[in-house]
Homo-oligomer: A and B are copies of this chain.
């Protein structure tokens, strides 16, 4: 549908990253520059905002505020974990979205998110086609987990990689300084099914002395006995041990090491099990079975929002992906997610490509076995070579007079509603 005239809507979905606002900035700036696109709306809190018809005019925020999104963590448009089910099960919701789109003449939908969001965008695009509503749908990848397929890597990953590697390096120096009393430390990273984040910490291990000494990914089964042996071997070699563990570690039977039991809050709204506590579990094992003091670090959401040391490469690529999605849309392309294509590694060069939304939605990419060492307790140089280009440079954040970052907050003034109330 080249030349399609109308308004655009951009929304963010799922867990924030340090650069998802860079993608939003790219989408908004490029959409504002397109002749065929009128108003650029944003959905407040992701798809929930669309369902509730809670939209605001991104252009009304002003060019300065929009530009500041390139240096601002988390999801400035608001996000949510609300997942639409299949067309059959959630047909009313999809119809509602189209109702809101029609009411505001929204002809371009840009969805920044992970697998679930690409699935929603895909279904929405198909439904629009079936109902003869001209709508261009494009996805912009976003996930710290780096587990989207068809793209070399995901915007958001380079920054979390840089953060956890730096944290391992710095806290590792602490363990090194105090090893006579505080001998072991466990750093717990996010990563439910894929170990990309924990793996990134492994890059800080430049030599035998450097933390982390052991890195455990969820790609293989976690064996507590082998873990104890690994720690003891490390202690006998260098007198201390710094361990990085992914929250998603599970034993051979598939039981999460950090099992939270049957808590009512054990699952998030997408039905994913909410994990936590791997670090405590490993700390307990170390203290009881190795017999040395063990500390732990759980950076939690800090790891995905650490704009103050975010990767400039990551932020720039996130921005590029956002712009490209709009450029493709303006040319009439629909139903695709923009991908990142590594043209070369040395020197590193990255361009973009396209992948069908429906394909992306159903694939998840784990760390290849050959990029994990034979013992299953660290990463290989090949994995380092993959990660290092993604962590280059630092985003120059604006600083306020109080010595802390000055992150923009959008006004988000909602536009007048044109449709009846809708219950979600």
Interface residues of A (CB under 8 A from B): 12, 15-16, 45, 48, 72-76, 78-82, 162, 165-167, 169-171, 173-178, 180-182, 185, 203-204, 206, 209, 263-265, 268-269, 274, 276, 280, 287, 293-302, 304-309, 311, 313, 384, 388-394, 399, 401-405, 407, 409
Q: Contacts A81-B181, A181-B80, A300-B297 hold; do A174 and B391 have CB atoms under 8 A apart?
A: no
Could you tell me if B173 and A404 are in contact, using CB atoms closer than 8 angstroms?
no
Give the residue among A79, A298, A404 with the most B Cβ atoms within 10 A: A404
Could you tell me if A74 and B302 are in contact, using CB atoms closer than 8 angstroms?
no
| Chain B neighbourhood of A78, CB < 8 A | 176-177
| Chain B neighbourhood of A297, CB < 8 A | 298-302
8 A-B contact pairs sorted by A residue (CB < 8 Å): A45-B177, A73-B170, A74-B174, A78-B176, A167-B302, A170-B302, A171-B300, A265-B293
Could you tell me if B388 and A177 are in contact, using CB atoms closer than 8 angstroms?
no
Number of copies: 2
Closest chain B residue to A186, Cβ basis: B300
Could you tell me if A170 and B307 are in contact, using CB atoms closer than 8 angstroms?
yes
Could you tell me if B180 and A80 are in contact, using CB atoms closer than 8 angstroms?
yes
| Chain B neighbourhood of A81, CB < 8 A | 178, 180-182
Give the residue among A162, A170, A264, A392 with the most B Cβ atoms within 10 A: A170
| Chain B neighbourhood of A265, CB < 8 A | 287, 293-294
